[in-house]
Amino acid sequence: MRDPGICVVICVYTEDRWEDILAAVSSVRAQSYPALETLLVVDHNPVLKDRLEREYKETGGVRVLANAGPRGLSAGRNTGIAASRAEVIAFLDDDAVAERDWLRRFAEGYADPRVMAVGGRTVPVWASGRRPAWFPEEFDWVVGCTYRGLPPGRVRVRNVLGGNASFRRTAFEAAGGFATGIGRDDDRRPLGCEETELCIRLTRARPDAVLLIDDRAVIHHRVPEPREHFAYFRTRTYAEGLSKALVAKSVGADKGLESERRYTTRVLPAGVARGLRDALLARPGGAGRAGAIVAGVLSAAGGYAIGSLRARRGGTTFSVAPIEEGAHD
């Protein structure tokens, strides 16, 4: 099978990440498997859009677009999908840099025509220079990174993780785009799960679809200093519960919580045991990690309960629209 053409979509929203955005684009332009195009989708920030257009005016292979939908990450990604011209669309966070073979590993995964999505491994880059002693690796998803408990190698999964992922264009033709109303809307509430909902919807529309994670497709994701604190940890885990309730509403609790059951019954208890063992051996952070795991579970469960109640009352809505092809300016 021929190598697929890949377009990279980077959604951006604030000038505060200017240097991060430039680094993300540079990492795409340095790939050993070149991208056909890089699309910078700006989320309702005309000043940032103008600045980026000036920055890349003379740079081939980079286009700057305005988010054509409502504010938020999902609509931004949908704008990029609609504007892209490639067989495969990859997504990179605006505060991450990709290793040189990132796209090559994605492309290899699509040698099997059944493969509809390929994700990768996201490594945290802590602002303080090192992981906080209390922060459990089982909860690295809190800061948008690959967490302990995911299987190594190139493996089949229920869903890929949105900041380091790729999809065939035909996946969106079958399932529609990312649902708006689930994922992030700048930093006001750190919601998520839009990629989980999409992947479950995709496998329902295409039961033969294969979704992979290849841990050799590596990006390095910056974790700002405020996200190294327990207050953010608690807020993010609560928001994850809210988001999971919406996913369960969309696709049913059986599918929506399938992977989470294994995670909470096997991965997290093992993490608590490791933390307590380290505490008994007087290793730094052991008790804190065990406590953070318990607190994270309780916080997420509370968010799920509140989110489920809101969903039953019809207080929270989201929508999925088909992707309308055509370049946006």
pLDDT tens per residue, range 271-292 = 999 999 999 999 999 999 999 9
Interval 122-175: pLDDT, tens: 999 999 999 999 999 999 999 999 999 988 999 999 999 889 999 999 999 999
Give mean pLDDT, residues 313-329: 59
High-pLDDT (> 70) share of the chain, %: 89
pLDDT at 310 over 70: yes
Long-range contacts of 232-235 (CB under 8 A, 24+ apart): 232/142, 232/190, 233/135, 233/139, 233/142, 233/292, 233/295, 233/296, 234/295, 234/296, 234/299, 235/190
pLDDT value at position 327?
45
Give mean pLDDT, residues 49-56: 98
Interval 94-130: pLDDT, tens: 999 999 999 999 999 999 999 999 999 999 999 999 9
pLDDT at 3 over 90: no
Mean pLDDT of the chain: 91
Give mean pLDDT, residues 191-200: 83
Compute the C-alpha angle 17/72/204, nearest 5°: 125
Distance of CA 216 to the CA centre of its chain: 17
Compute the C-alpha angle 191/196/198, nearest 5°: 110
More confident residue, 250 or 179: 179
Say if residue 280 is exposed, middle or buried (CB neighbours under 10 Å; 0-12, 13-18, 19+). exposed
User: Which of 89-98, 251-260, 305-314 is most confident?
Assistant: 89-98
pLDDT at 328 over 50: no
Residue 31 has which token pair? 């790939």
More confident residue, 1 or 42: 42
What confidence tier does 268 reach under pLDDT thresholds 50, 70, 90? very high
| Residues 294, 272 contacting (CB under 8 angstroms) | yes
pLDDT at 29 over 80: yes
Mean pLDDT lowest among 51-55, 184-188, 251-255: 184-188
Alpha helical stretches, state H, the chain: 18-29, 46-55, 73-83, 102-109, 169-175, 194-205, 230-251, 253-256, 258-262, 268-280, 286-313
pLDDT value at position 190?
57
The pTM of this model reads 0.91
pLDDT at 43 over 60: yes
pLDDT value at position 244?
85
